Amino acid sequence: MTSKYVAFSVVTILFASVMSVGMQTSLHATELLPDITLTVPENKDYRDYLGLGGTPGEEFRLAEIDGDILLIELFSMYCPYCQAAAPKVNEFHTLARQQEEKGITIKVVGLGASNTQFEVEYFRDTYGIEFPLFPDKTLAMYKKLGGEGTPGFIGCLLGNKGEPVVVLRESGGFESPEGFLAQLLEKAGYK
């Protein structure tokens, strides 16, 4: 009788584990980045960073950003965890830029969930953020991207002629910028 209970439990655990891993894999395997349109920034440094040729005020698609990997940060100026995470995200950005020496170009953009342009700029100035931040006042982009709280991160593989492929989703920040970079590179197939 005991062996029947044990066998039942072991089979149940194995089944649940396999199902869980299988579901996660299938969710992320071929997810394309939703088509997101932003306004070409006035700031020339941002335009150069993103590799945009358009005129300020015109629209561009995230897919047009020049690079191999794109990391989108979903944040809010009002979110205490985004405030706390900002220095680590800056560290990540510095490390990401250093990857260019290895021939891998990683670009980072932030989308301010429910934030105005003024609020996004205040957040940028407060934490000395160097990568471009865009307001998402109506949460339209957040919803389209399937945001699940802030801070949230979506890593995408760019560089092929098709649509960007989502390779990583992370809600709630990360412990180590080095570890997060390694995770992103691995998911994007660079390690």
Two structure tokens written together for 5: 């209970």
Q: How far is the CB of 90 from another protein (least distance, A)?
A: 15
Q: Where does the chain have alpha helices with state H?
A: 2-29, 44-50, 80-98, 117-127, 140-144, 177-187
* Identity of the amino acid at 183: Q
Choose between 76 and 105: whose C-beta lies nearer to another protein: 76
Least distance (Å) between residue 164 CB and another protein: 25
Q: Which residues bind another protein (CB under 8 A)?
A: 1-2, 5-6, 9-10, 12-13, 16-17, 20, 76-81, 83-84, 114, 116, 118-119, 122-123, 126, 149, 151, 171-173
Closer to another protein at the Cβ: 67 or 173? 173
Question: Which of residues 17 and 43 has its CB atom nearest to another protein in the complex?
Answer: 17
How many Cα atoms within 13 Å fall on the side-chain side of residue 187? Answer: 25
Helix or strand (DSSP H, E) at 146 = none
The distance of closest approach from Cβ of residue 83 to another protein in the complex, given in angstroms and rounded to an integer, is 6
Which residues does 46 contact at the CB level (< 8 Å), separation at least 6? 132
* DSSP code, position 168: E
CB 20, min distance to another protein, A:
8
Contact of 73 with 108, CB cutoff 8 Å:
yes
Comparison of 43 and 126: residue with beta carbon closer to another protein: 126
